[in-house]
Chain A
Amino acid sequence: MNTQDEKIRFDAIVVGAGLAGSTAAMMMARAGLNVALIERGQKAGGKNYFGGAIYTHAIGEVLPDFMDRKPPFERPVTEAGFWMLSKDGGLTKMTVQGGKLGAEPADAYMASRAVFDVWWAEQAQREGALLIPKTSVVDFIRDSAGQVIGVSTDRAQGDVYAPVVIICEGVNNLLTQKLGLIDHDLEPAHVALAFKQVIALPMDTINARFGLPDEKHGLAASVLGDVSLGLPGMGFVYTNNTSVSVGLGMMLDAVVEYRLKPYEVLQRYLRHPAIAPLIKGGQLMEYGAHLIPEGGYRDMPKLYTGGAMVAGDAASMVNALHWEGTNMAIVAGKLAAETAIEAHKQGDFSAQALSQYEARLKDRFILKDMKQYRNFARFLETHPEFMDAYPGFINDALGQFFSAYGMPKKTLFKNILGSLTSRRQLFKAVGDMLSMGRAVMGW
């Protein structure tokens, strides 16, 4: 038995060295707190997954000099938008390039999470956080009043104590459930199952096939149309330095009910006449799969309790319209850390004190975005007529419209979306249309 004095104590514990977790650890360590960052994988990032592209605005908020620290980014996103695949093998591109997408550093960079997250955790270690890998947190330690005062792990004598625990465990939020912050597990209708292949190709081949001038240019495209068998879903294509990531996500309930084999759906997409030539001769580097929480605000747990807070995918903080989660995870991790730092100053870790976390989130885009989505979801529930009008718009009108005009697509696109300059705005506009389409099909 441990005596009082032998207990392993920290000022704060972070569960999970993903984006939310390493951010929280970095911020708290910088403020002088003694932080344990506990990760179940062999190293940070080994369990983590995305498309994908990482936004730099969130990174810059935490580490203003991030570019000097040589982040292991792949190509910058210099071209972004939507591709529409038609059943007859056609491809309509609706992408923007130049303008703000040409900025340095770029708004977003392609990355591999297994590489990027290692670097991100190293930044937390540089501030003094202690990374404890190969260790799963299995439960909480609470005092007689129910206040969280530590965690137990699957290591021998693996109890670790701290007055505040920040839970950043990702989409499978079993600890968040265990703590009673949410009373149900994920709903198949509210999560997307996403899977992809990373396919190696020579740099020059990628440049030529994707129309990129050099490796300082990269494409991030969301792919609609003949991707997900007419069921709720969306594909994606990202160009890395010497590989491309091609995959798709579908709502899990559809995958289960239609008894689809995800790898068959993916292979069908990779064989589409517009996609196959892009990856021809490439070598499979890695296949994988992960869930994306899509429930938005409806599925968010309570964000804090006495001695604990929850951030990132574990709190369903993904913008369900655009599948953006990295920026929210980073900002939420930062805000949770600020709340923990303040709690240390006041010596108060009660639920009341930690409720500041939610207040901080409300001030920022996170809760605003999530609420907007909730309203939108409700709107759709009460306006079924919209569910009929929009899929047609997406599947037929839009595709035909963009290909029927004799105008160069770029010019046409500019005309239509003239005022939409940034990628975010663009995603939002098309994303809103897309979500209408999703709702129609019963997502």
Chain B
Amino acid sequence: MKKGDAFSVKELPQELKASLPDVYVDDLLVSLKYFIDEEQSHLKIKDQAVCARCQYKPCLDFCPVGVYTLAHDGKIQVAYQACVECGSCRVGCPYANIEWTLPRGGFGVAYKFG
């Protein structure tokens, strides 16, 4: 995977793409338990200007719980409350534009099964 401006995307064959069902991620999130830190987010966009320049914005898709969404003003919104702390966005953002820390001790996802 190329990083920075050299990052480019690939496309699935049309037939495979069409075989992907629409899923409403909130239907999955209700199965998860969290201790939400209401005071501070453990995820931050370092520089929204970089996001504005990021052509493909893959974080909108690859986050397994849909933490990243596009706001009306075009900015990237971070619903850190839903994060399962997998680490994908820290290493998967082509511009390394996400400041990723662990939630404070005791906060964040609390798997019941895992």
A153 to B85, alpha carbons, bound, how many Å?
A: 19
- Chain A residues with Cβ below 8 Å from B104 are 136, 154
The reply to whether the CB of A123 lies closer than 8 angstroms to some CB of chain B is no
Main secondary structure on chain A at its contact with chain B?
mixed
How far is B31's CA from A197's CA once the two chains are assembled, in angstroms? Answer: 10
Residues of A within 8 A of B105 (CB): 40, 133-136, 153-155
Q: What residue of chain A has the Cβ atom nearest to residue B87's Cβ?
A: A172
Residues on the A chain within 8 Å of B88, using CB? 193, 252, 255-256, 289, 291
Asked, given contacts A172-B90, A263-B28, A264-B22, whether A258 binds B114 with beta carbons under 8 Å apart, the answer is no
CA distance A135 to B8 in the complex (A): 39
Residues in chain A near residue B29, CB distance under 8 A: 287
Do A289 and B64 touch across chains, with their CB atoms under 8 A apart?
yes
Contact A185 B102, CB 8 Å, known A229-B16, A260-B61, A291-B86: no
Residues of chain A lying within 8 A (CB to CB) of residue B62: 193, 252, 255-256, 259-262
- Chain B residues contacting A285 (CB-CB under 8 Å) are 31, 112-113
Which residue in A256, A267, A287, A288 is a CB contact (below 8 Å) of B58?
A256
Given contacts A47-B111, A133-B106, A267-B23, contact A287 B91 (CB under 8 A): no
C-alpha spacing A259/B93, complex, angstroms: 11
Task: From the candidates B31, B86, B110, name the one contacting A46 in the complex (CB within 8 A).
Answer: B110
A197 to B11, CA, bound (A): 26
Q: Which of A6-14, A78-86, A108-116 contacts the other chain?
A: A108-116
Given contacts A134-B105, A256-B58, A268-B21, contact A193 B86 (CB under 8 A): yes
Q: Which residue of B lies closest to A116 (CB)?
A: B114
Whether the pair A256, B92 counts as a contact (CB closer than 8 A) is yes
Given A193-B86, A290-B86, are A253 and B114 also a contact pair (CB < 8 Å)?
no
Measured CA separation A263–B58 after assembly (Å): 15
Q: Once the chains are docked, how many angstroms separate the CA of A59 from the CA of B111?
A: 23
Report chain A residues within 8 Å CB of B64.
193, 195, 262-263, 289
A74 shortest CB reach to chain B, Å: 10
- Closest B residue by C-beta to A193: B88
B35 in contact with A288 (CB, 8 Å): no
A271 located at the interface, meaning its Cβ lies under 8 Å from any Cβ of chain B in the complex: yes
Q: Interface residues of B, CB < 8 Å — how many?
A: 48
In angstroms, Cα B28 to Cα A287, docked, is 6
Contact between A187 and B114, CB atoms less than 8 A apart = no
> Quick check: A112 and B56 within 8 Å, CB to CB?
no
Bound-complex Cα distance A268 to B28 (A): 14
Q: Interface residues of A, CB < 8 Å — how many?
A: 62
Q: Mask for A277-299, Cβ within 8 A of B = 1, else 0?
A: 00000001111111100000000
Determine whether A188 belongs to the interface, using a CB cutoff of 8 Å to chain B: yes
A408 within 8 A of B: no
| A52 vs chain B, min Cβ distance (A) | 9
Inter-subunit contact A286/B32 (CB<8 Å): yes
Tell whether, in the assembled complex, residue A288 and residue B87 are in contact, meaning their CB atoms are under 8 Å apart. Answer: no
Which residues of chain B have C-beta atoms less than 8 A from A268's C-beta?
19-21
A257 contacts chain B at the CB level, 8 A cutoff: yes
Chain B's closest residue to A266 (CB) is: B23
Indicate if the CB atoms of A284 and B28 lie closer than 8 Å: yes
Nearest B residue to A175, CB-CB: B102
Tell yes or no: A42 within 8 A of B by CB.
yes
B50 at the binding interface (Cβ < 8 Å):
no
Chain A to chain B contacts (Cβ below 8 Å), 12 pairs: A47-B110, A117-B114, A229-B12, A230-B16, A256-B62, A256-B88, A264-B21, A264-B22, A268-B20, A285-B31, A290-B86, A291-B86
Contacts A46-B111, A261-B20 aside, 13 further interface pairs with beta carbons under 8 A come to: A42-B110, A46-B109, A135-B106, A136-B105, A252-B62, A252-B91, A258-B9, A258-B11, A259-B56, A260-B61, A261-B62, A263-B25, A263-B28
* Closest 10 A/B residue pairs (Cβ): A134-B106, A289-B64, A113-B114, A114-B114, A253-B1, A287-B28, A262-B64, A172-B87, A112-B113, A259-B61
Q: Which residues of A contact B (CB under 8 A)?
A: 40-42, 45-50, 112-115, 117, 133-136, 153-155, 171-172, 174, 185-189, 191, 193, 195, 197-198, 229-230, 243, 245, 252-253, 255-265, 267-268, 271, 284-291
